Amino acid sequence: MPNTTPTLHCAIIDDNEINRLTLEHMVELTDGLELAASLPDARQALAWLRESPKVDLLLLDVEMPHLSGLDLVRLLPAPAPAVVLVTSHATYAVDAFELQVADYLVKPVDYPRFLKALERVRNRQPQPAAEPEPLASDGQNLFVRVNNKLLRVDFDEVLYIEALSTYSVIVTEKQKHIVYVTLKSMEERLPFAHFARVHRSYIVNTRRIESVEDNQLRLGSYEVPIGKSYQADFMKRLRSL
């Protein structure tokens, strides 16, 4: 039977290259886990996290120069990803408990213990709330559930919609809305013919495409990749617009 476990996108943050490579290998071995970034510095990671809502899990070292892993956890933008601390010392366990991280691994980490931490992360994942059918108020607006309220979104302003684990992110030039519905469900419910699936993680507004180059779509200030399995059908559709 096919694996229906949602894929978790993770980032590794550790100033030690050997430790990063070890964790990268464990991620590669693990079904349902995909590496979004591997970064050597907590400050760099914080900047990346503020710009990218793509990560569900941080595999985070504690002792790093300039900004520690514990400091990074305190500064994480909402909604914060799950955190697994990976450190050489057990002395940070109390801090980890107070910060409500998902798990605390002591180096050297063995693979079975790594899998146990991942299981704990999955058990903590919130289940998406039942999403009412979007209500079309006119030819371009829908109501979508955002933070327990129904928000009217002008879909003419939407550039693209991106998968975020079991959620979706609706992206406009000015803001991003995290919606508690899967990208597949969003694709099935959208009543607008000018939205197209171009990647397993992206639906785009074809009216907002500014250029296509090297299988990358330019939409405003963003770039979205075209997945290999979507290229032929999407390019055929573009030529018919």
- The one-digit pLDDT tens for each residue of the chain (241 residues) are 344 567 899 999 999 999 999 999 999 999 889 999 999 999 999 888 877 657 889 999 999 988 988 888 888 877 788 999 998 877 666 666 667 788 888 889 999 999 999 998 988 765 554 444 444 445 567 777 766 677 788 888 999 999 876 778 899 988 888 887 788 888 887 878 889 999 999 999 999 999 999 899 999 999 999 999 999 999 888 887 6
- How does pLDDT run across 101-149, given as a tens digit for each residue? 888 888 899 999 999 999 989 887 655 544 444 444 455 677 777 666 7
Q: Which CATH architecture has domain 135-240?
A: Beta Barrel (2.40)
User: Could you give the dihedral angle defined by the CA atoms of residues 80, 83, 85 and 86, in that order, rounded to the nearest 10 degrees?
Assistant: -120
Instruction: Give residue 145's region: left, alpha or beta (phi > 0; psi -120 to 50).
Output: beta
Closest-CA residue to 46 (of 21, 71, 63, 9) = 71
| Ranges of each domain in the chain | 8-124, 135-240
Q: Which residue carries 């327990």 as its tokens?
A: 148
Question: What DSSP designation does 19 have?
Answer: H
24-33's contacts with Cβ under 8 Å and 24+ in sequence apart are 26/109, 26/111, 26/114, 27/59, 29/111, 30/114, 30/115, 30/118, 31/3, 31/5, 32/3, 32/5, 32/6, 32/7, 32/8, 33/7, 33/8, 33/57, 33/118
What pLDDT was estimated at residue 217?
95
SS (H, E, C) 135-174: EECCCCEEEEEECCEEEEEECCCEEEEEEECCEEEEEECC
What strand order describes the sheet that includes 195-199? 176-179, 167-172, 158-164, 202-205, 195-199
Give this prediction's pTM.
0.53
Rounded distance, CA 175 to CA 155, Å?
A: 13
- Choices 3.40.50.300, 3.40.50.2300, 3.30.43.10, 3.30.1360.120: CATH for 8-124: 3.40.50.2300
